[in-house]
Amino acid sequence: MKLVSSLLTLVFLAVLNAAQSAPLVESPAGQIEGEDLNGVEVFRGIPYAQTVTDELRFAPPVAVLPFSKKFTASRFCPIAPQSAFLNYDSTQSGGANYLCLNIFRPKGINPDSRVPVYVWIHGGAFAAGSGSIPLYDGSQFAKDGIITVTLNYRLGAEGFLYSKKLLTKYGTSGNWGLMDIIEALKWINKNIGSFGGDISNITVGGNSAGAMAASALILNPQLKGLFQKAVLESGTLISYPFLGFNTEQNHEIAVSRSQKLFSEFGVDDSDTGIDMLRSLDPFLLAYHCAYDYNFANNRGSFMVPYFDGNIIPKSPYHELKKGNYNDVTVLMGYNTDEGTMFVNPDISENDLISGFYANFDKKTAESLKNLYKITEKSSSFAKTSEFLGDVMFNLGMKIFADNLSKTQKVYVYHFDYLPKSSNKDGSGVHHSSELKYAFLNLPQDASDKTRDVAQVFHMRLLNFLKTGDPNSDGSKNTLIKWKTYDTTDSAVLRIGSYTGVEEFKLKDKLLKLEEIFFVSQKN
């Protein structure tokens, strides 16, 4: 009996100790309790907008009301409806209350700490992804003195369905997912100070579609002052086929894909048709607009953001040229083999040429044939991968860097590290391969060399998040100086088996590509 009593006492004391040690934050959103996990305080699944049901589907997000009682932020919320589940926990695959965020912060900080804040936007072609993917675990950044916030936003049709009817009603359409991100950013500005964050030192960042979304924030004057820095890993608003290069191209893609979805369910773009789509399971809609781009015949069902002149400029290219962007310092870059993961290894030369004509007008296609000629030293796979990497990611990066650097500090990197064990499929330093290095979330069997490269990249990002300068954390400087980018020098930092400054190797080719798509045409 004494043994049972002693065990009950120990259990009670353990529970009491856990309750006392759980981090608790008093914020404008209410009282929020997190967890102490491996030396980091984590708050998971905090809602920043109301549950997306009924009339709130295909509509601007509505700010969540303050909690009336303590909110226990101990588990991730559901993922946004999507057809690709990647490596999600099965318990996260359902539920409408998925507009939430997760906060990783250094242990023991308080509202007076004022530490830098990193807001991370996940990628996934605007069709897949989640802020709770283990790859985006912000624990290492938190251990290094950064509050990291990851978030969910609406995807696929739920996030990017265009409707002329809704455009008239709301003044925007097809950008519901981007509006979610903006709503999250507003929540962060209002509440992160209570968690110890410095609202005058907020960086927004993302990879792929997440970087495209972050670049949209840079071009949105309504968000002036809500963030001071941006990290764009392989992505900007200037991207084909994820957005389109100009207003006409973007509108054709966005409208036709959305009209196709209306038609597949036998309805039109009307109040009745929209209500019918709202009555359907969002996961069913997600299966009808998964990422499925086929370059050779220009087919696809995935939704894209809409250049509405409100959330996104009608011409991002022209706004950049005119200097219409927010005052932010930017770190951005590309991987050596951006396009490989988007190309079938068996693609033929005829497929490449057919793709040029299927996606673009005859004059443009002819120019592209000359710029991306297959030679004895290059295969159809290599040239198609090179082209798609350029139009999807590299060209937009170059255009953003050229124009932002006229008035802002811009740092450009080239990620070029490939462990010997990782080249079995021939994809090389492919799209998104830099992420585990950036977050320092490496597999346990990573080699010492791999860990060294990750430390370099992570440390440079860390410096940038703290000071806006990847060369300094405020007290000590790096040995190799990462020069700011400008159009005359265009120096970039190569991160690979060795790290050093190099010339921007893609510059001349991308200048020609910009001439083809923008200078010689009306955009």
Instruction: Please check whether residue 198 is in contact with residue 184, taking contact to mean a CB–CB distance below 8 angstroms.
Output: no
Checking DSSP bridges between strand 100-106 and strand 147-151, what pairing results, if any?
Answer: antiparallel
Tokens 């305080």 correspond to 41
Helices assigned H by DSSP within 360-434: 362-371, 380-389, 395-404
436 closest CA partner among 87, 157, 181, 34: 87
Q: What is the 3-state secondary structure (H, E, C) of 12-32?
A: HHHHHHHHHHCCEEEECCEEE
Name which of 473, 475, 508, 504 is nearest 490 in CA terms: 504
Q: Rounded to whole angstroms, how far apart are CA atoms 152 and 61?
A: 13
Residue written as tokens 């605007």? 126
Catalytic residue among 132, 139, 208, 367: 208
Sign of the torsion formed by the C-alpha atoms of 3, 9, 12 and 13: negative
Q: How far apart are CA 368 and CA 428, in angstroms?
A: 24
- The alpha carbon of 488 is separated from its chain's Cα centroid by a whole number of angstroms, namely 29
Copy the structure tokens of residue 373.
Answer: 């000629």
User: Helix, strand or coil for residue 471?
Assistant: coil
Side-by-side strand order, sheet with 329-335: 35-37, 40-47, 100-106, 147-151, 115-121, 197-207, 229-233, 329-335, 410-415, 491-495, 499-503
The interaxial angle of helices 209-218 and 176-191, nearest 10 deg, is 70
Chain Cα centroid distance, residue 389: 17
Instruction: Reduce the DSSP state of residue 159 to 3 states and report it.
Output: helix
Establish whether 139 is a catalytic residue: no
Can you give 246-257 as a three-state secondary structure string? Answer: CHHHHHHHHHHH
Cα distances (Å, whole numbers) of residue 8 to 19, 21, 393: 16, 20, 59
Query: Is 49 within 8 Å of 158 (Cβ atoms)?
Result: no
Q: Where do the DSSP E strands lie in 355-479?
A: 410-415
CB-based burial of residue 496 (10 Å sphere; 0-12 exposed, 13-18 middle, 19+ buried)? Answer: middle
What is d(CA 299, CA 358) in angstroms, rounded to the nearest whole number?
Answer: 9
Task: List active site positions.
Answer: 208
